[in-house]
Amino acid sequence: MVSQTIDEIQTDIAQLTEQLEEVKAERVARGLPADLPPNYVSTAMAWHLYERCEPLYRFGIQYATLCDKANEIIELPDAQKEWAKSFEKYTRLINYAEEMGVRTLAIALDGIIAAIENRFNYESVTQLLRLLHVSLQFITGDYSRPTLDGIAWGAHVNTDEATYRREVSQEYLRLKDEVEFEKELEKVNEHYYKIKEMI
């Protein structure tokens, strides 16, 4: 394990701070607010959206397996590619989840979509499989799939962890009602289109 001295750590922090300031200045120069809009999709809602991406995850596994067995990049019908891309309506919202853990899952799901969409941009089937493997591994986990309770650890809220997890669980159960889910989906979509120009 490589260890750093205090001076080296302080130098790294200074460089990262400088890079962040450059990014903010670049955003301002483009007429955007210096900071990105805050994450606003509740953990419970983000988890429902993630669960709706389960067919994409399973398809990613099947496609990777078929390409691996054939040792070539397999062509897909246009309808199947469009089907995979249709999950972006969920992943773009999960990317604004309050909890970092759920946002990481969205990045992995976006990786599956990108691999399917750009499959012929890779020089070999190995490159394609590498991207699919990394994306799928984020979702599969080292020992088991992530759970809502494991994701909802509440580091960003001013309440104790047990209370926060209970609140997330109650909200998740409320959103199991399709009418309530659709209402919440409309609300988060509305907000997304409001902030889209600030991204």
Q: What does each C-alpha distance from 162 to 109, 152, 153, 169, 197 come to in angstroms?
A: 29, 10, 8, 11, 37
Residue 114 has pLDDT above 80, yes or no: yes
Q: For residues 80 and 194, what is the distance between their CA atoms, to the nearest angstrom?
A: 31
> What are the beta bridge partners of residue 97?
41
Residue 194 has pLDDT above 50, yes or no: yes
Query: pLDDT tens-digit profile of 152-172?
Result: 876 556 677 888 889 999 999
Of 34-43, 54-63, 164-173, which gets the smallest average pLDDT? 34-43
Whole-number average pLDDT of the chain = 86
Of 75-84, 120-129, 166-175, which gets the smallest average pLDDT? 120-129
- Quickly state the pLDDT bin for 136 (edges 50, 70, 90): very high
Pick the more confident residue, 183 or 22.
Answer: 183
* Residue 190: count of CB within 10 angstroms of its CB: 9
Query: pLDDT tens-digit profile of 24-38?
Result: 677 567 666 666 667
pLDDT > 90 fraction of the chain, expressed in percent and rounded? 50
Question: Residue 100: what pLDDT?
Answer: 87
Average pLDDT of 163-184?
95
Computed from CA positions of residues 62, 64, 68, 71, in that sequence, does the dihedral angle turn out positive or negative? positive
Pick the more confident residue, 10 or 46.
Answer: 46
- All residues at 6 or more sequence positions from 103 whose CB lies less than 8 Å from its CB, including other chains: 39, 46, 94, 95, 96, 97
Residue 2 has pLDDT above 50, yes or no: no
Whether the predicted model's global pTM rises above the 0.85 cut: no
Of 43-47, 71-75, 175-179, which gets the smallest average pLDDT? 71-75
Q: Is 194 exposed, middle or buried (0-12, 13-18, 19+ CB in 10 A)?
A: exposed
Average pLDDT of 15-28?
70
Q: For residues 186 and 93, what is the distance between their CA atoms, to the nearest angstrom?
A: 11
8 Å CB contact between 169 and 94: no
